[in-house]
Amino acid sequence: EPEVTQTPSHQVTQMGQEVILRCVPISNHLYFYWYRQILGQKVEFLVSFYNNEISEKSEIFDDQFSVERPDGSNFTLKIRSTKLEDSAMYFCASSEAHRAGGTETQYFGPGTRLLVL
Amino acid sequence: AQSVAQPEDQVNVAEGNPLTVKCTYSVSGNPYLFWYVQYPNRGLQFLLKYITGDNLVKGSYGFEAEFNKSQTSFHLKKPSALVSDSALYFCAVRDRTGGSYIPTFGRGTSLIVHP
């Protein structure tokens, strides 16, 4: 069964450093998403991406964040200057398409645990 | 605005007993509702969803959920729990009348099934 994969599984970085989190969505999927989950809190939407551009983003997704699909398979989340509060589990997800009525299912990767020191 | 609440941080049940994981929601219009499960070191896995039609939705691994519009609930159930069902369960809602395709997730409920 196809899966969404994410690398690295864990990342430790110093405050102020840039990090890039990588995801390989399911191959025939067209919509891609990033979510985060701060320890003990709920899963929060960051951004969705379709046709090489951002389709929706939350207020969390500020100027320090960016997303890219550099080579047609990878989908990356870049955090330019990490802060302590960016420490969280980051999940990538993908879905086939936005069917009429929006009944698509999102498939999630295993996550990258980011720790900012 | 859309929101979802999972009132229990943890649910404990003995193997073989029925289980219920609670979820209530709030949307401006009509909801799409989802349940996901997260096993240790894995991503969220889709279990089931309510779109329209029968209020009782059947999903993966023997789970089902009942949509109750009057109580704005979508509780997850299973008639006979297995130890392997122990995991973190997330409810999510999306308002079908809005322009967004993004669901809002609850905080998750840890299900522990004791042998």
Mean per-residue pLDDT pooled into runs of 10, chain A (117 residues): 89 97 92 90 90 90 93 92 96 79 76 96
The pLDDT of residue B10 is: 96
How confident is the model over B21-37, as a mean pLDDT?
92
Q: Residue type at A32?
A: F
Binary contact (B96, A110; C-beta < 8 A):
no
Contact A50, A97 (CB under 8 A): no
| Average pLDDT value for residue range B7-13 | 96
What pLDDT, on the 0 to 100 scale, is given for residue A24?
96
Alpha-carbon span B112 to B2, nearest angstrom: 28
The predicted structure's pLDDT at residue B33? 93
Q: Round to whole Å and give the CA distance between A105 and A96.
A: 8
Q: What is the pLDDT of residue A100?
A: 52
Residues of A in contact with B94 (CB under 8 A): 102
Residue B96's pLDDT is what? 78
B47: pLDDT strictly greater than 70: yes
B46–A43 CB contact, under 8 Å: no
Tell me how far CA of residue B97 lies from CA of B29, B30, B32, in angstroms.
6, 7, 10
Instruction: Tell me if chain B has a CB within 8 Å of the CB of A106.
Output: yes
Query: A103 and B108: CB-CB below 8 Å?
Result: no
**Burial of residue A16, with CB atoms counted within 10 A of its CB: 0-12 exposed, 13-18 middle, 19 or more buried:** exposed
- Average pLDDT score, chain B: 91
Q: Which of the residue ranges A91-95, B16-20, B38-42, B95-99 would you say has the lowest mean pLDDT?
A: B95-99
How far, in whole angstroms, is CA B38 from its chain's centroid? 12
What is the helix (H) or strand (E) element at residue B36, kind and residue range?
A: strand B31-38
Nearest to A105 among B43, B49, B106 (CB): B49
Contact assignment for B101 to A43 by CB distance below 8 Å = no
pLDDT above 80: residue B71: yes
Of the candidates A44, A102, A110, the beta carbon closest to that of B42 is on A110
Residues of B in contact with A40 (CB under 8 A): 107
Q: Between these two residues, B98 and A31, which has the higher pLDDT value?
A: A31
Lowest mean pLDDT among A9-18, B69-78, B98-107: B98-107
Which residue from A33, A42, A110 is facing B107, i.e. has the nearest CB? A42
Q: Cα(first)–Cα(last) distance of chain A, in Å?
A: 37
Interface contact A41-B107, CB threshold 8 A: yes
Q: Is A50 on the interface with B (CB under 8 A)?
A: no
| Averaged pLDDT for residues B85-100 | 87
pLDDT > 90 fraction of chain B, expressed in percent and rounded: 70
